[in-house]
Structure 1
Amino acid sequence: MATKTAAESGAPEPGGRAAQTGARARDDGVPLSRGNAERREAGRAARTLSRRRAHAEWDAVGDRADVVDILERQAESRVPSLVPVRHGRMLASPFAFYRGGAAVMAADLAASPDSGVMTQLCGDAHLANFGLFKTPERALIFDLNDFDETARGPFEWDVKRLAASFEIATRYRGFGDDDRRAAVLAAVRAYRRTMRRLAKGRVLDSWYGRLDEGDVRTLLQKASGGRGNRRPAREAESTFASAHEHDSVRAFSKLVHEVDGRLRFISAPPLIVPIEELPPEEGGFGPDGADDRVAIPELLRRYHSTLASASHPLREFTYHHLARKVVGVGSVGTRAWVVLLQGTGSGDPLLLQAKQAERSVLESGPEPPLYENNGERVVRGQRLMQAASDIFLGWQRVVRDDGSERDYYIRQLSDGKASVDMERARPAGALIYARLCGETLARAHARAGDRLEISAYLGARDVFDEAVADFAARYADQNDADFEAVRQAAASGRITASG
């Protein structure tokens, strides 16, 4: 996809424009010799080249890619039988469409002027990609939890993705104009204020900071003033309880049964399909035609070398079974496997998820990506942006008999994970959740980029906040139009969508 320069759009050329998409990943970061004053000055200078108020703008360019074409191109590398499932899930609502349409928005952002202020991006920082999970120390924290599209890019791409998600989700919930605007502004304002606070603090505060269960409870108490609307606090307690209960043992009880004395995944096609039930053309996690009882343990041994610790509990587990599992909305059709392992006995299961990683939608230009293995790209980005990461997070590449390669990243399937249900959100809860997401994204960007430069660009006033809120409203209109275009494509038979 061709990238429109700032000169072509009538806007000033921002610094660092030579690194528009894939080339951005080749930024070497901040040298030790660059002083604090220089870093702040770089952020202020970027304002003169890319005005903060200009972030309010959104106009679909005349040569904008057809949204159905984008989905069809993505379908080319996916499991054909699952592509209709993906389309069906995306057409459940405008917000579901937005969740699955990271490639659409990435193309739009890449064709628009940007700040040139770089960081590691989540790449798909919508509100449903935040949630609770347990750290290796068994603390429950709130953080980003999806990094399939992570890559380097302008910091505001993530902020705009987050802001638009609140506008779209609250429209779907039927919020009034003021409540929608308040939720979007809460997310962006929390991002800016947190970034400015981190820029003024100690270096290690940015690296050690996190939002744990106690922090969330404190925020809820402050928001309610100790009285008034207690509904958000009650709903949060339910989410905390769900996270504490959500682990491998619970997932094992739902997904696994015993067949002739052997542990096997329960068959529930097309959502869960054991390896022996898959047709040959859809392939397994291992090489073509390979016995999974031989191939998978060997792959896991190689994956072991990518884990953060050489002495790792993985070596105490034995392989039992493999199944393909449909996950998410936008990810449907990419190959995702669940691997059943067992430790010292029947009450000691471990479920791993091996998820296919393709080139990030942010790396759509002709330049080569930073990492040859996209599984490594996901893992490196996740380890950099998260306050704490799963000890089983690693990557692996599978070479097929025809010479084709598939990259995967691997992690635990269930480890204290839980998320907020926006289908039930009310304005008071949406405000609190928006603040949590904005603060969390700022912490991730502060670790992965230059918090002083980003903070200096943002400034102390709400210019950037208001501009991004305007953008979110305009882009939500675009999302509605795109949703309708895809709905019509399904109705006409151009694409197939199933439930």
Structure 2
Amino acid sequence: MSEDHLTPSVNPPVDVTSWKQARDPRDRSRAGIKARNAAPLESHAVWQVRSGRREAISLLEEQSAIRVPELIPLRYKRMSISPFTFYRGTVLIMTNDLASTPVTGIPVQCVGDAHIGNFGIFRSPSARLVFDINDFDETAIGPWEWDLKRLAVSVEICGRANKLKTKDRRAAVLQCVRTYRERMKWFSEMDYLDAWYEHLDVEETLDRFETSGSKRNPVLREAAMKALLKDNDAAAAKLCRYEGGKLRFKSNPPELVPINELTDYADPEALQARLDTLLESYRHSLYDDRRMVFDHLRYQDSARKVVGVGSVGQRAWTSVWIARDIDDPMMLQMKEATYSVLEHYCGASRYATHGERVVQGQKLIQSTADVLLGWSSFMAEDGRKRDYYVRQLWNGKGSIDIDNLNASGLSDLSRMCAWSLAHAHARTGDSIAIANYMGGTDEFDQAIASFAVSYAEQNDEDYAVFKKLVKSGDLPCAK
């Protein structure tokens, strides 16, 4: 396992290993209700806002210490745009905070960073657009309620960023939690394989929302239309040029830098050799049928690519390949996988590498995973082994323009996210116990909605400290 593993900074580990799932549904139901003794439903509402938390920002600096130094100013720049972009980059801070709150002790394969921006659209192997979780860097075993709180708070913060009224934000968060609770009960009553195969078809879901009275949502519809156009051909056309009989990456530093322009590497040929080793190791992580697909591809070029907000500074590469000919491109992304923030508090992953942790976690919680999903490790320029996971760069991926969601759009999107999260947790945890813990009233919903307001205010306080440190120069920030 990678040695780039930070130790818990404040809170002791959370025990999610002692839960023993009963075989009989009635016993599982009773166990869920009994879990309220350790974590009463109303206890989830409690968060005491604290100001001036310089120690919280220190957690970000701990993360930055193991990332690409030259990209840290870009990371902080992206986080400094708004309280919401700050929230997207502070999953370690929130997880550290959640470790001091009551937990049920019912484990699932957590997403780890289940904010509203980490859900989206992609094309399934059957060529249908599905909606699901799309970020798995932090996935690990942990308490299911941490994922749900992360999602609920993000709905509240997104609503504030979009200047929605207080009542509309509250309504969206309540819809989110209610959907999670009701879907979990629904999954708990299904045959297990039927629940496993369920998925959220985008067109059918949007049609159903509109039939049931929701206004037609142009933001979600537009995201679906764009997803249909985001394929390997579009990625190659945007990122590459044709030169010397091959596809070569365009140069757009620091976001996209071809490997032969990375001046911090003394020997580009040595870098290429290490990437070749990475890709060969990745090949052996694939099942035979997926390996046959990969073996049909011919390598063209690679580049370093900056992705996301919180992920900035983690090493990420993209490579372009062709299959039949130059008009049949394939784009792969190789992204560094380090420790999960959940491992600080819930125990180390059982997988040999963090790349495998991410990939196996994704396969467990996503309804339809990328057919070329795999993992790898290689020796970096500093002589240290680094873990990676590999996937297609674009395979019908569509992100939602969350900056332009109105009240109806935020409510609809939060319901879709909650559905997907409940599905992930039902596949990997004790759905009967979780459903019976939450119960059939809105008491749990109201508690989480209250927590969302308090923690959004905590995020505002931490953001103010962060901005002050950026302004003073204590944190490096790109211009």
Q: Do both share a fold (TM > 0.5)? A: yes
Aligned with 2:188 (options 199, 204, 215)? 199
1:199 offset after TM fit, Å? 1.0
Are positions 1:477 and 2:457 aligned together?
A: yes
| Maintained 8 Å contact 2:19/2:106 | no
| Maintained 8 Å contact 1:3/1:110 | no
Are positions 1:113 and 2:99 aligned together?
A: no
Are positions 1:306 and 2:306 aligned together?
A: no
Q: Could you tell me which residue of structure 1 aligns to residue 171 of structure 2? A: 182
1:283 offset after TM fit, Å? 8.8
Aligned with 1:405 (options 382, 385, 388)? 385
Question: In structure 2, do the counterparts of structure 1 residues 312 and 84 end up closer, same or farther at CA, with 3 Å as the change threshold?
Answer: same
1:238 offset after TM fit, Å? 1.8
| Maintained 8 Å contact 2:219/2:401 | no
Q: What is the distance in 2 between the residues matched to 1:434 and 1:282?
A: 47
State the TM-score, normalizing by the size of structure 1: 0.90
Aligned with 2:38 (options 38, 42, 49)? 49
Aligned with 1:322 (options 297, 302, 327)? 302
| Maintained 8 Å contact 1:239/1:420 | yes
1:479 offset after TM fit, Å? 0.2
Q: Could you tell me which residue of structure 2 aligns to residue 144 of structure 1? A: 133
| Maintained 8 Å contact 1:319/1:340 | yes
Are positions 1:428 and 2:408 aligned together?
A: yes
Q: What is the distance in 2 between the residues matched to 1:437 and 1:237?
A: 16
- 2:341 is paired with a residue whose SS is coil
1:91 offset after TM fit, Å? 0.6
What does the per-residue CA deviation read over 1:91-146, in whole Å, with 9 as the maximum and x for residues that have no partner? 10000100111111011111222111111100000001111001122211000000
Are positions 1:377 and 2:366 aligned together?
A: no
| Maintained 8 Å contact 2:220/2:409 | no
Q: What is the distance in 1 between the residues matched to 2:141 and 2:260?
A: 39
1:63 offset after TM fit, Å? 12
Q: Which amino acid aligns with 1:244?
A: L
| Maintained 8 Å contact 2:105/2:143 | yes
Q: Could you tell me which residue of structure 2 aligns to residue 153 of structure 1? A: 142
Question: In structure 2, do the counterparts of structure 1 residues 332 and 401 end up closer, same or farther at CA, with 3 Å as the change threshold?
Answer: closer
Q: What is the distance in 2 between the residues matched to 1:249 and 1:88?
A: 31
1:64 offset after TM fit, Å? 6.9
- 1:258 is paired with a residue whose SS is strand
Superposition pairs of residues 68-467 of structure 1, within 5 angstroms: 68-224=57-213, 229-230=215-216, 232=217, 234-281=218-265, 290=270, 292=272, 294-310=273-289, 311-365=291-345, 367-400=347-380, 403-467=383-447
Q: Which amino acid aligns with 1:409?
A: Y
How much is the aligned-residue C-alpha RMSD, in angstroms? 2.1
Q: Could you tell me which residue of structure 1 aligns to residue 478 of structure 2? A: 498
| Maintained 8 Å contact 1:308/1:391 | no
Q: Which amino acid aligns with 2:36?
A: R
1:209 offset after TM fit, Å? 0.6
What does the per-residue CA deviation read over 1:418-460, in whole Å, with 9 as the maximum and x for residues that have no partner? 1221111101111111111111110111001111111111111
1:368 offset after TM fit, Å? 3.7
| Maintained 8 Å contact 2:11/2:96 | no
Question: In structure 2, do the counterparts of structure 1 residues 247 and 58 end up closer, same or farther at CA, with 3 Å as the change threshold?
Answer: same
Between the two proteins, what is the percent identity of the paired residues? Answer: 40
| Maintained 8 Å contact 2:51/2:458 | no
| Maintained 8 Å contact 1:144/1:440 | yes
- 1:350 is paired with a residue whose SS is strand
State the TM-score, normalizing by the size of structure 2: 0.93
Ranges in structure 1 where 5+ consecutive residues have no aligned partner: 6-19
| Maintained 8 Å contact 1:2/1:111 | no
Q: What is the distance in 1 between the residues matched to 2:186 and 2:41?
A: 20
Q: What is the distance in 2 between the residues matched to 1:165 and 1:283?
A: 43
Q: What is the distance in 2 between the residues matched to 1:466 and 1:283?
A: 58
Q: What is the distance in 2 between the residues matched to 1:300 and 1:181?
A: 47
| Maintained 8 Å contact 2:133/2:420 | yes
| Maintained 8 Å contact 1:3/1:111 | no
- 2:253 is paired with a residue whose SS is coil
Question: In structure 2, do the counterparts of structure 1 residues 27 and 327 end up closer, same or farther at CA, with 3 Å as the change threshold?
Answer: farther
Q: Which amino acid aligns with 1:130?
A: F
Q: Which amino acid aligns with 1:110?
A: A
Q: What is the distance in 2 between the residues matched to 1:422 and 1:28?
A: 37
Of residues 392-401 and 353-362 in structure 1, the stretch that sits farther from structure 2 once superposed is: 392-401
1:77 offset after TM fit, Å? 0.8
1:411 offset after TM fit, Å? 0.3
Q: What is the distance in 2 between the residues matched to 1:430 and 1:117?
A: 29
Q: Which amino acid aligns with 2:249?
A: F
Q: What is the distance in 2 between the residues matched to 1:275 and 1:2?
A: 36
Q: Which amino acid aligns with 1:73?
A: E
